[in-house]
Structure 1
Amino acid sequence: MDMNEIKEIFFQECEEQLAELESGLLKMNDGDRDPETVNAVFRAVHSIKGGAGAFGLDDLVAFAHVFETTLDCVRSNKLEPNQDVLKVMLKSADVLADLTNAARDGGSVDESRSRGLVKELEALANGELPSPSAAAEAPAPKAAAKPVAKAAPAAPAPAVKPTDDSGFQPIPFSFDDFGGEGDAGAEMPAYEITFKPRYELYSKGNDATLLLRDLSRLGEMTIYCNTDALPGLEELDPEGAYFFWNVTLKTDKGEDAIRTVFEFAEWDCELTVKPIADARADATSNEELPMVPVPFDLSILDESGAAEEVSGAAAETAAAVAAAETASNVTQMAAAAARVEKKESAAAAAAAASAAAQNNAAGAGQTIRVDLDRVDRLINLVGELVINQAMLSQSVIENDTTGTSSINMGLEELQQLTREIQDSVMAIRAQPVKPVFQRMSRIVREIADMTGKSIRLITEGENTEVDKTVIDKLAEPLTHMIRNAVDHGIETPEKRAAAGKNTEGTVRLTAKHRSGRILIELADDGAGINREKVRQKAIDNDLIPADANLSDEEIDNLIFLPGFSTADKISDISGRGVGMDVVKRSIQALGGRINITSKPGHGSVFTMSLPLTLAVLDGMVVTVAGQTLVVPLTAIVETLQPEASAIHSFGANHRLISIRNSFCPLVDVGRILNFRATQANPVEGVALLVESEGGGQRALMVDAIQGQRQVVIKSLEANYTHVPGIAAATILGDGRVALILDVDAVVGASRGQSLKAEMSLAAVG
C-alpha cells in the first residue's frame, strides 16, 4: 500500500470522524450531557489531529489541538457546555471540516475566521465565557491560528556521549522546535517524567511521538530514550512496544497540565511525574536501571510525523520498530511508511507490519469499502437479469401450453432467486439520510449568522434509508430550501417578538417511509407565504396575467416558476430567482414531487416525496387506449370492476364512483394523457383506486389489466425527453417499451392542473 492510498483512507476516516463530531455536538446542544457523548466528540478531534500530524498538515493539527484542549476542559467539567459555548464549538467543527477538505482537495480556508475561532477557543479553555452577543458576532481577532511560542534560543546539540552513569544521551530540547508556548527560564519549576507505552497504546491508534510533541508545548524539554528492550530485527513483534522515555520538562503549567497530555492514554502506559527535587531524592535511594546511549533525532517528533535519516545501526532498527509498533491504524501506518522510505534495511519489517494491520482489520471489521462504480455496475447487471428473466418467462408462456413442465418450475425458481438477488443488491445501496441532514445544520448556522437571526434546526428520522443515488442528488435541493426558509421564512427576532413568538425560530427537517417512498418535510414556524406579494411579483415579471384567478395553492406554487423571486435586493443568499425552480426540477428528475402548504403567520411546510430506489419497482401493467402503461404498485390501494349503478355524474365533465358508501372521483387516464378525445365507458374498463400525496384518493380508469410485474426503471428524460404525466419507461418481457405512469401528475391534472403537454404521447408509446 503506497502513501497516497494510505492518505486517501485517512481522509475517508476523517469524514466519519467529522460526522461523529457534528452528531455529538448537536446532541450536546440539545441538552445531552452523557459523558460518553462528550468523549466521542473529543476522540473525533483527537483522531483527526493525530492523523493530520502524520501527514504534515500543520494548519489542521494546530487548529485541532486548540479545539481538543477546549473539549478536554468540558470532559474534565472545567467548562460548562452551554448554548454560547456550543455555538463556538459548532463553528469550530465547520472550520475543522473546511481545513480537512482543503488538505484533501486543495484550496484555502478563511484565515480570519479560523484565527477568530482559535482566539475564542483559547478564551473558553482559560475560563473566559463568551457573551451571547459576542458569540453571535464572532469577530475575527488578529491572533495567530497556531499557538506561537515566545522566542527562545535553541541550545546547541552536545556530542553523542553519556552524561551520567545512567547511559542516557541527553538531548537539548526547546519548545520552539514544536511551536510550543511558555517562557523558558531557570526560575520555572522542573519535572522528571517517565513515559513507558504498552502495546495497547498503539493498538488503539495512539502515537507516542504525538504525545511527546504535545508535551513539548508546555515548556522547555529534554528527552532521554531507552532502548534496552529492543530485540533483533528477526525477533520483532509488530504489535510490541520496546521504547520508553525519560523527560525533563521546565514549565509553569503545573503537574495537572502534564498529566492532561497523557489523559487519553493513561490506561495504556506507565507514567510517573515528579518535581525535580523529589525525583533526585528518589534517585539517591534507588538503583537506576542501566541505560544504552542512543542518538535521538528531534525530527522524529516533528509535526509532519516523518523522521529524517538517523545515523547508526541502532537507529535503523529503531525506525523499523516504530513502523511495526504504529502499523495498527492508518495514521501510524503513514508515519511508519515515511520513516522506512529512507532505510532499505527496514523494508521487510514495514511490509510485515502493513500485512499484520490488514489482517487485523479483515478479522475484526464488519464492513468493507467498495468503489461505488462497482456497485452501480452490479445493479445494472441485476436490472438486465430481471429483464431477461421476464423475456424468458414470456417466451415459455407463449410456446408451452401444458403449464406443468419442468421448464416452468425452473422459471419460477429463477424468478424467486432473481428477486432475492435484486433485494440484496438494492440493500447494499441503501444509505441513511443522516449525512445530508447533518450538512444542513451547518447551512442553518451560517445563514442565521449572515441574517442576524436566531434559528434552531430540529431533525427527525435521520436513520431513514434510501438509495444512495437519491441521497447524492438530494443535497442541492435541500440546500436551496433551507436557505429560503432561513432567509425568507423565519422573521427577525424583533418581528417575532412583536408577533408574540419565541425570538428563536425553528426549522424542522424530517424523513420517513410511506407507501414505498421516502417522505421528506421541511417546516418552519416563520411568517408563511405572503400570497399578495407573490401574486404581485408574478404579475410584475409577466409570469401570469393581471386578471388571473388563482387559488391559494396555485399562488403558492408560483414560487417554483423560473426567474421568480420575492427578494427586494440581490444578496449572497437569495434574490436572483434561480432557487425554487431548480429545486422542483431536481426533485422531478428523481421521479419525485414537491408540495407546499402554508399558513400566514404560522409558517410553511414543503413536502418532498421521492422513490426509495431509481432502479427497480413493482408495477401493474395495464392497457389504456391501445397503449401499455405501468402503474407503480405502491400507489394502488385496490382494483375494482365498476358497475353502472356505482357511476354518478358530477357537473358537466366529472364523474364519481361509489365505493363502500363513499364517493371517489373517477379519472380517465386515456383522456388525461390525450390518448383519446372522448371519455371511455367506465363499465367496460377497470378502476384502480390510488392514493397520491396531497391529492387524496382517486379511481384511475384503465381499459384492462395485463398483470403484475417487476420492472427495471429506465430514465425517459435521459434517453428521450421529458413527457408530462410519465415518470419513466421500462422494457417488458416481450421487448416492448412501456411507459411508467406518474400517478401524482395524473391526479393533479384531474384537479385542474395542466400537464402542459408539448407532444402527442400516443406517438411516444
Structure 2
Amino acid sequence: MNAEEIQGIFFIECEEALAAAEAGLEACSAGTQDNETVNAIFRAVHSIKGGAGAFGFTALQAFTHGFETLLSDVRDGTVMVSEPLVSLMLRALDTLSDHVEAARSGSDAPADEALLAELAAAQADGAGGSDAETQPAAEASVVEQDAAPVDGLDFDLDAMLSDIEHDAEPEGTPWRVRVRPHAGAMANGSEPLLLLRELDRLGGSCIACDVAAVPVLERLEAGQAYLSWLFELPASVSEDAVQEIFDFIGDDCEVVFNPAPEEEGAHDAEETPTVEKTAQAPANDTDTPEPKEVDTAAKAGPEKAAPAARAGQSIRIDLGKLDRLIDTVGELVIAQAMMAQRFAGQDLAAVEELSMLDGLTRELQESAMSIRAQPIGSVFSRVPRILRELESSTGKAVNLEVSGEATELDKTVIERLSEPLTHLIRNAVDHGIEGAEARIAAGKPAKGTLCVSAEHRSGRIVIKIADDGAGINRERVFGKAVENGLIAADAQLSNEEIDNLIFAPGFSTAQTVSNVSGRGVGMDVVRQNVKELGGRITIDSTPGEGTVFTLALPLTLAISDGMIVTVGDQTLVVPLAHVVESLRPDAKDVQGLGTARQMLNVRGNFLPVLSLEESVGARNAVASPTEGVLIVVDTESAGQAALLVDGITDQRQFVIKSLDTHYRSVDGVAGATILGDGRVALILDIDGLVTNAVHVRRKEAA
C-alpha cells in the first residue's frame, strides 16, 4: 500500500471521526452529557490529530490540538458543559471539518485564530474558577502568619507550613513505559519519532534505548523498525494520557506500562505479543505492578478477542473494485436472461437447472447490492451544520427533526444526494420559514421547524423536506415568471404548475442577492440531479402552513425487476416497483370521458387509461383496452393510472444502462437494458409519463 492510499484511508477515518464527534455534541446539546459521550467526542478529535501529525498537516494538527485541549478539560471535569460551550464546540467542529477538507484538496486552511482564542478563553474560564479565586487568599494568609510575631511557641512555623504543603501535594513515584514499534509499523504511515515527542511533551524522559534488534548494515531496511525505548514519566501523568497518544496507530506498536525489571533490558529481534510479555512477569513479585498494555484487539488474548471480532468484523474495500463486482453481476444477469431465452420450452431438467441458476443469480445480485447499501444518515448528519450556518447568516432560529436515518440505499445515490438536499434545506430556511416576528404575528412559535425524513416505499426510497413556514407565494412566483418571460401574462396555470415554476433555470424570488440565495441557481440543479438519479421531485405547499418537497428515488442504479411488455413494434420495460396489478378488462369496466378519454373502473376507483403508442413512438399498437392488457401503476406526483399495452411477455431482472452516458436524456425514458435475445429495450420513466399525460389532459379540459 503506497502513501497516497494510506492517506486516503486517513481521510475516510476523518469523516467517520467528524460524524462521531458531531453526534456526540448533538447529544450534549440535547442534554446527554455523560462521561461516555464526552469521551467519544475526545477520541474522535484526538484520532484526527494523530493522523494529521503523521501526514504533516500542520494547520490541521495545530487547530485539532487547541480543540482537543479544551475537550480534555471537559472530560476531566475542569470545564463544565453548558449550552454556550456546546455551541462553541460545534463551531469548532465545523472549522475542523473545513480543515480536513482543505488538507484533502490541498487548498488554503481556513482562518482559525479567533476561534482558537475563544477555545482558550473557554478553557481558562473553566479552569480558573474556584482555584484561581481561592489561591490569592491562601497566599495572603501565609504571608500574614510569617509576618506576625509568634511569642511563647516552641515550634517552627515555616517547617510546619512546609509539611502541610508536602502532604497536600505528594510528589509520587515516577513510573515507566516501554514503547516498541513492530517490524512493519512505518509501512502503514506511523512515525515513531512523533510518538516519542508526545511522551516528551508529557514530561517523560528516555532512560534506555534497546538496539539489540538492529541488524548489520548490509541487512538494514530503512522502512523497518528495530529500536525500542524505555521512558520514565512523572506520577502526575496518567496512563490514559499515554494511551491516547497511541490510539491512532492500533496494533502497529507494542506499549507496556510498568514493565518487569527483566523486560527493561535488551529484547530479542522477534516480535513477541504484548500478552506474552505480560505473562513473563514473576508471579511472586509483589513489588512490581502487573504490566498493562494499550487497549487493542490483541491485549485480551485469543479467547477474549475472538468474540469482539465476530461482533463487528469489517474490511475496507476500494470502491472501484466494488463497482467492477457490480458490473460483473450485471453481465451475469444478462447472460442468465440469454440462457433462459435460448432454452425456453426445453425439457423439464433444463427448466429446473435454469430456475436454480436464476435463484443463485438473484441471491448473488442482492448480496452484491447490499455491500453498496449505506444508511442515509451519512447525508442527514450534515444537515445540523448547514442549519447552524443558515441560522448565523439569516438570523432565523430553526428546530430540526430527523427520522429514517437508518434507511439504506445505494452508495452512489447517497453521494449524489448531498447537493440536492443542501439546496432544498437552504431554500426552506431562506424562503420558507419566516422571521421570528412574522411567525409570532401569524400565531406560530418564534422558532421554525424543519423535518427531514426517509423511508422505503414500493421498492423506492422517499425523502421529504418539510417546513412550517409561509408556503409558496404563488402570486409572486407567477409574477416573477411573467417578468422573466417564462410564461405569458394571460397563462392559465394550476397551483401545481405554478409551484413547479421554481424549478425553471434562473428563477428566483429573492429580493436581494446573498450568500444563501438570489442568483437563480439551485432549484433547477436539484431537479436535474434528481432526474439523473432516475427519480422525481414533487411539491406540496399550503399558504401559511408550509411546504413539503418529496424526492422519490430508486434504491439502486444498477439492477432492478421489471415487466417486459410490447406496444406495437416496440419492446419496453415497466419497472416492477411502480406496478400495482395487471388485468384484461371487460367492456363494462371501461367508461368514456369526453371524446378521447377513457377511464378504468377498478373496484369502484376510476383511473385514467393512458396509451403508450404516441409517447414511445410505436406503430400498430392496440387501441382498445379490451383488446390489450392494462397495467395499473402508482406514481408519487399523479397518483395511479392504467397503461395500455399489447401484452406482457416476461418478468425478470434487468441491468439499467444510462442513456445520458451513451446518448442523451429522453423524456419518459429512465434508461435502457439488454434483453435475453440481445435486443435493446427502453426502460419507462413511469412517473414522468403519467405526470405529463395528466397535465396534457388537464390543459385540454381547460
TM bucket normalised to smaller = 0.7 to 0.9
Which residue matches 1:463? 406
Using the TM superposition, give the Cα deviation of residue 10 of structure 1 relative to its aligned residue in structure 2, in angstroms: 2.6
Kindly state the Cα deviation for residue 58 of structure 1 after the two structures are TM-superposed.
Answer: 2.8
Matched letter for residue 333 of structure 2: V
| Whole-angstrom CA distance in 1 between matches of 2:329 and 2:678 | 17
Distance in 1 between residues matched to 2:507 and 2:246, nearest whole Å: 61
Report if aligned partners of 2:566, 2:647 keep a CA contact under 8 Å in 1: yes
- Are residue 685 (structure 1) and residue 685 (structure 2) matched? no
Counterpart CA distance in 2 for 1:265 and 1:562 is 53
Alignment of 1:209-248 (within 5 A): 223-227=204-208, 243-247=229-233
Report deviation, 1:264: 5.4
Letter in 1 for 2:486: L
Query: CA separation of 1:755/1:548 partners in 2, compared to 1, >3 Å: closer, same or farther?
Result: closer
Cα distance change on mapping 1:540 and 1:504 into 2, 3 Å = same
Which residue is 1:74 aligned to?
74
Name the CA distance, whole Å, in 2 between partners of 1:77 and 1:290. Answer: 39
Q: Which residue in the other structure is 2:648 paired with?
A: 705
Q: Residue in 2 aligned with 1:520? A: 463
CA offsets 1:508-559 (integer angstroms, 9 cap, x no match): 2211111111111111122211111101000000000001111111111100
> In structure 2, do the counterparts of structure 1 residues 602 and 750 end up closer, same or farther at CA, with 3 Å as the change threshold?
same
- CA 1:105 to 1:750, structure 2 compared with 1: closer, same or farther past 3 Å? closer
Aligned residues: 606
Partner in structure 2 of residue 121 of structure 1:
119
Q: Per the alignment, do residues 83 and 671 of structure 1 end up closer, same or farther by CA in structure 2, a change over 3 Å counting?
A: farther
Instruction: Specify the SS of the correspondent of 2:381.
Output: helix
- Checking the alignment, whether the CA contact within 8 Å between 1:725 and 1:755 is kept in structure 2 is no
Q: CA–CA distance in 2 between the matches of 1:266 and 1:430?
A: 32
Q: Is contact 2:568-2:621 (8 Å) kept?
A: no
Aligned residue runs from structure 1 range 120-519, under 5 A: 120-127=118-125, 194-197=174-177, 223-227=204-208, 243-247=229-233, 261=241, 366-397=313-344, 401=345, 403-519=346-462
SS in 1 for 2:383: helix
SS in 2 for 1:466: strand
Deviation at 1:608, TM superposition (A): 0.4
Q: CA 1:209/1:76 → structure 2, altered by over 3 Å: closer, same or farther?
A: farther
Q: What letter corresponds to residue 734 of structure 1 in structure 2?
A: D
Q: Which residue of 2 aligns with 1:30?
A: 30
Distance 2:4 2:74 in 1: 36
User: Which of 553, 559, 568 lines up with 2:496 in the alignment?
Assistant: 553
Higher mean C-alpha deviation, range 67-76 or range 522-531:
67-76
The residue number in structure 1 matching 2:589 is: 646
* Counterpart Cα distance in 2 of 1:577 and 1:25: 35
- The answer (yes or no) to whether the contact 1:625–1:703 under 8 Å persists in 2 is yes
2:75 equivalent to 1:95: no
Indicate the residue corresponding to 1:177 in structure 2: none
Q: In structure 1, the residue corresponding to 2:544 is in which secondary structure?
A: coil
Alpha carbons 1:197, 1:208 under 8 Å: kept: no
Amino acid at match of 1:668: S
* 1:224-269 CA-partner distances (Å, limit 9, x unpaired): 42338886569xxx999964433579xxxxx6x9898558589997
For 1:596-635, what aligned pairs fall within 5 Å after superposition?
A: 596-635=539-578
Classify the secondary structure of the residue corresponding to 2:386: helix
SS of the residue aligned with 1:473?
A: helix
1:624 offset after TM fit, Å?
Answer: 1.5
CA distance in 2, matches of 1:246, 1:192: 13
Distance 2:389 2:349 in 1: 66
For the 8 Å contact 2:80–2:126, the answer to whether it is kept is no
Instruction: Give per-residue Cα distances to partners, 1:135-174, cap 9 Å, x unaligned.
Output: xxxxxxxxxxxxxxxxxxxxxxxxxxxxxxxxxxxxxxxx
SS in 2 for 1:411: helix
Distance 1:88 1:754 in 2: 56
Q: Secondary structure at the match of 1:752?
A: helix
* Contact 2:92–2:115, Cα closer than 8 Å, also in 1: yes
Q: Match of 1:194, as an amino acid?
A: P
User: Is the 2:423–2:526 contact (alpha carbons within 8 Å) kept by the matching residues of 1?
Assistant: yes
Is the 1:477–1:583 contact (alpha carbons within 8 Å) kept by the matching residues of 2?
A: yes
- Pick closer, same or farther for the CA change 1:197–1:322 going to 2, 3 Å: farther
Q: Secondary structure of 1:17's match?
A: helix
Match of 1:21 in 2: 21
Which structure 2 residue ranges, 5 or more long, are not aligned? Answer: 128-168, 216-223, 248-254, 275-297, 299-304
The whole-number CA distance in structure 2 between the counterparts of 1:120 and 1:321 is: 49
CA contact (8 A) 1:724 1:755 kept: no
Deviations 1:721-741 (A, max 9, x none): 222111111111112221111
Matched, 1:52 2:32: no
Q: Please give the per-residue CA displacement for 1:70-123, whole angstroms capped at 9, x wherever unaligned.
A: 223333344443432222111111111222222233111221xx1222122222
Pair 197,501 (structure 1): closer, same or farther in 2 beyond 3 Å: farther
2:108 aligned with 1:108, yes or no? yes
Shift of 1:56: 3.5
Alignment partners' CA distance in 2, 1:82 and 1:666: 62
Counterparts of 1:379 and 1:690, CA distance in 2? 29
SS in 1 for 2:353: helix
SS at match of 1:227: strand
Residues 1:417 and 1:211: Cα distance change in structure 2 (over 3 Å)? closer
Which residue is equivalent to 1:284? Answer: none
Instruction: Provide closer, same or farther for how the CA distance between residues 674 and 404 of structure 1 changes in structure 2, counting only shifts above 3 A.
Output: closer
Write the distance in 2 (CA, Å) between the matches of 1:493 and 1:241: 65
Q: Give yes or no for contact 2:214–2:226 (8 Å, CA) kept in 1.
A: no
Change (3 A) 1:732 1:116: same
Rate the CA distance shift 1:198–1:641 in 2: closer, same or farther, 3 A. Answer: farther
- Helix, strand or coil: the match of 2:690? helix
Instruction: Tell me the equivalent position of 2:39.
Output: 39
**1:61 Cα deviation from its structure 2 partner:** 2.3
Q: Tell me: CA distance 1:664–1:120, structure 2 relative to 1, closer, same or farther (3 Å).
A: same
Q: 2:175·2:234 contact (CA, 8 Å) conserved in 1? A: no
Distance 1:574 1:245, change over 3 A: same
- 2:232 maps to a residue whose letter is N
Q: For residues 270 and 322 of structure 1, what CA distance do their matches in structure 2 show?
A: 17
1:84–1:628: structure 2 CA closer, same or farther, 3 Å change rule? same
Shift of 1:39: 1.5
Partner residue in 2 for 1:731: 674
Aligned to 2:487, the other structure's residue is in SS state coil
- Tell me how far apart the structure 1 counterparts of residues 653 and 84 of structure 2 sit (CA, whole Å): 54
SS at match of 1:621: strand
Unaligned runs of 5+ in 1: 130-188, 250-254, 272-288, 295-313, 326-352, 354-359, 757-765
Amino acid at match of 1:39: N
How far has the Cα of 1:270 moved from its partner?
A: 5.5
| Aligned CA distance change for structure 1 residues 228 and 480 (closer, same or farther; 3 Å) | closer
Contact 2:178 2:231 in 1 (8 A): no
What is the CA deviation profile of residues 596-619 of structure 1, one whole-angstrom value per residue up to 9, with x for unaligned ones?
Answer: 011122221110000011111111
Contact 2:510 2:517 survives alignment (8 Å)? yes
Distance 2:192 2:34 in 1: 29
Q: Deviations over 1:345-376 (max 9, x none)?
A: xxxxxxxx9xxxxxx99988722222211211
Q: Distance in 1 between matches of 2:2 and 2:272?
A: 14
Relative to structure 1, the CA distance from residue 653 to residue 695 in structure 2 (aligned partners, 3 Å threshold; closer, same or farther) is same
Confirm or deny: 8 A CA contact 1:730 1:738 kept in the other structure: yes
Aligned position for 1:662: 605
Contact 1:193 1:246 in 2 (8 A): no
Which shifted more, 96-105 or 684-693?
96-105
Percentage identity across aligned positions?
48
- TM-score, normalised relative to structure 2: 0.77
The one-character-per-residue Cα deviations of 1:269-311 (angstroms, maximum 9, x if unpaired) are: 758xxxxxxxxxxxxxxxxx9999x9xxxxxxxxxxxxxxxxx
Q: For the residues of structure 2 that align with 1:723 and 1:14, how far apart are their CA atoms?
A: 40
